[in-house]
Amino acid sequence: MQKIRIGYGYDVHQLADGEEFWLGGIKLDYHRGAVGHSDADVLIHVICDALLGAANLRDIGYHFPDTDPKYKGIDSKKLLAETTKIIRNVGFEIGNIDATVSLQKPKIKPVIPDMIKCLSEVMEIDKEDLSIKATTTEKLGFVGREEGVDAHAVVLIYKK
């Protein structure tokens, strides 16, 4: 019997004027951006957390702590590449990833194909194995007030 595992990730980042907005490895052209120790790419962070959790390897903060200056401003694609390497080093491969970003503005549906291309290349998986969806909160809560962005991801990994 093949061993399969499921992992889940959730993350939130505050939005602020004048910050760069990286999402899914793509820099968005918007006057507000996510605040964080790294480049604050909430989508990459939830994928990392889900992959690490599925492999029972703790979380992104354990492997890449925000107290370590070497991660200050780091491109989250590097964290994703390292996370993928970590789970592969213990014998797991990615089956598929399903992620949702909740953001009132800007609208990201037009750049989702670019995000899928970028992240699938970083993880060395087929584009068909990565689903990225976008939603709003119908102007409710911190996302609706455009104070922040959140994301969820579910992954399936399996032993090679």
Residue stretches of the annotated binding site for a divalent metal cation = 11, 13, 45
Which amino acids are annotated as binding site, given as ranges?
11-13, 37-38, 45, 59-61, 64-68, 135-138, 142, 145
Which helix (H) or strand (E) element contains residue 101?
Answer: strand 92-102
CB 49 within 8 A of CB 63: no
Distance in angstroms (rounded) separating the CA atoms of residues 31 and 33: 7
Residue 155's H or E segment, with its range, is strand 148-159
